Amino acid sequence: MCLPHDWLTWRLSGAPGLDALRTDRSEASGTGSWSAATGEYRLDLLRLAFGRDDVLLPQVLGPTGQPGLLRTGAAGGVRRRRRRSSGGMDVAGRAAAAVVDGRAG
């Protein structure tokens, strides 16, 4: 189970297997089955949703984790492999930037 952002990151990396799926904590929480308190997926919720808990899940990266490299030719002709960030520019990232810039309120 992965979100579109995670699938796209995986495809752009050129990784051969689904075991290379990676995500960040913010994206993982969007599945409704990630517990920020324990840092793990909630298998009980997966059983309720899918009737099983042996679903393939992306590895959840920490704040400095990198999900992989862009493969050659991905993203409009990148000629060499480049690092991909693990996300963070979704709602949580924008909220953090607003607080840093003093725009929260």
Q: Which residue has the higher pLDDT, 88 or 72?
A: 72
Tell me 70's DSSP state. P
| Whether pLDDT at 2 is above 70 | yes
Q: Residue 10: its pLDDT value, please?
A: 86
Handedness of CA 31, 37, 41, 45 (dihedral sign): negative
- Predicted confidence band of residue 79 (pLDDT cuts 50, 70, 90): very low
| pLDDT, position 95 | 52
Query: Average pLDDT for residues 12-40, to the nearest whole number?
Result: 89
Q: Which residue has the tokens 């997926």?
A: 41
pLDDT of residue 46: 92
pLDDT surpasses 90 at 45: yes
